[in-house]
């Protein structure tokens, strides 16, 4: 039996890690359940985006279930080809947003770093504590810190394993927004819902071009953008968006 609760709010699928008695850590069953839930959401044309969060207000996710790891060996929560929780190595087609309700540590931090936007409760702490257990954050934490933070800042997190407040992560540009804990889910749902008023195709294309551009020279990225742009300018969503602006009305995109 997995420790995952799934909710649907309109076009938003919410995945809530529901193991508060275990620090919302992921055992293998929950990790694979998350992978299956994301696969289902990606295949559902009525779902435009996903949110991942945790039960309670103390811990978002404490990483892998260390008790299970002690009994079975570490790594059983790593889904082949898709990583921890089916998230950290996955190539997604739809946005995934994190609502960090409490401490995000180790694999929980790696899940957070793999998300497209991050909203965090003001009391949340986060970091990669694996070194304290003889490990390091190889499932995406180190790699994404290397891409997002200056060297000295990233290596301090990686090598000390110390946790830092959400506000500090916001200042470093890792977190989208810090909000009071009681407003976290309401704010996250509101932003994602308003995001989905836009063209879903444009959202996903923009997200994909961003990801591709991080590994390209600016010349390559511009060439890819121009190639995509020709199709985009002639798309039904583009025509509707331009017409809506000219007619001073809300656009009615063919989403879903």
Where in the chain are the domains?
A: 4-195, 200-246
pLDDT in tens, 94-116: 999 999 999 999 889 999 999 99
- Strand ranges for 109-170 from DSSP E: 117-121, 125-127, 164-165
Give, in order, the Cα–Cα distances in Å from 182 to each of 24, 57, 99.
19, 9, 12
pLDDT block averages, 10 residues each, the chain of length 256: 91 97 92 95 97 96 79 73 92 96 93 96 89 66 82 87 93 96 97 95 89 86 84 81 83 83
Residue 75's pLDDT is 61
Residue 68's pLDDT is 72
Residue 13's pLDDT is 98
Residue 238's pLDDT is 82
Q: Shortest CA distance to 141 belongs to which of 120, 153, 127?
A: 127
- Model's pTM, two decimal places? 0.89
Q: What count of Cα atoms within 13 Å lies in the side-chain half-sphere of residue 57? A: 10
User: Looking at the annotation, which residues are catalytic?
Assistant: 110, 130
Contacts of 219 (CB under 8 A, 6+ apart): none
Looking at domain 4-195, what is its CATH homologous superfamily? 2-enoyl-CoA Hydratase; Chain A, domain 1 (3.90.226.10)
* Helix (H/G/I), strand (E/B), else coil: 217: coil
Tell me the backbone φ, ψ of residue 78, rounded to 5 degrees: -90, 115
State the greatest distance between any 2 C-alpha atoms of the chain, in Å, as a whole number. Answer: 64
* Helix (H/G/I), strand (E/B), else coil: 153: helix
pLDDT in tens, 155-178: 888 888 889 999 999 999 999 999
């Amino acid at each position: 039996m997995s420790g995952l609760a799934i909710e649907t709010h309109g076009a938003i699928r919410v995945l809530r890690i529901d193991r508060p008695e275990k620090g919302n850590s992921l055992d293998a069953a929950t990790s694979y359940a998350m992978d299956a839930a994301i696969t289902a959401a990606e295949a559902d044309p009525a779902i435009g985006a996903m949110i991942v969060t945790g039960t309670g207000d103390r811990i978002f996710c404490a990483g892998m279930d260390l008790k299970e790891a002690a009994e079975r060996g570490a790594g059983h929560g790593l889904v082949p080809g898709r990583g921890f929780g089916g998230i950290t190595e996955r190539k997604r087609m739809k946005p995934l947003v994190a609502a960090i309700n409490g401490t995000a540590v180790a694999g929980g931090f790696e899940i957070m770093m793999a998300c497209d936007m991050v909203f965090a409760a003001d009391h949340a702490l986060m970091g990669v504590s694996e070194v304290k257990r003889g490990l390091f954050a190889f499932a995406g934490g180190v790699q994404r810190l290397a891409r997002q933070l200056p060297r000295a800042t990233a290596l301090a997190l990686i090598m000390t394993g110390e946790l830092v407040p959400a506000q500090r992560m916001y200042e470093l540009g890792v977190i989208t927004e810090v909000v009071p804990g009681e407003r976290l889910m309401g704010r996250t749902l509101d932003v994602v819902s308003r995001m989905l008023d836009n063209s879903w195709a444009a959202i996903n294309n923009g997200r994909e071009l961003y990801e591709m551009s991080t590994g390209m020279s600016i010349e390559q990225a511009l060439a890819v953008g121009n190639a995509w742009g020709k199709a985009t300018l002639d798309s039904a969503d583009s025509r509707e968006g331009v017409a809506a602006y000219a007619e001073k009305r809300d656009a009615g995109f063919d989403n879903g």
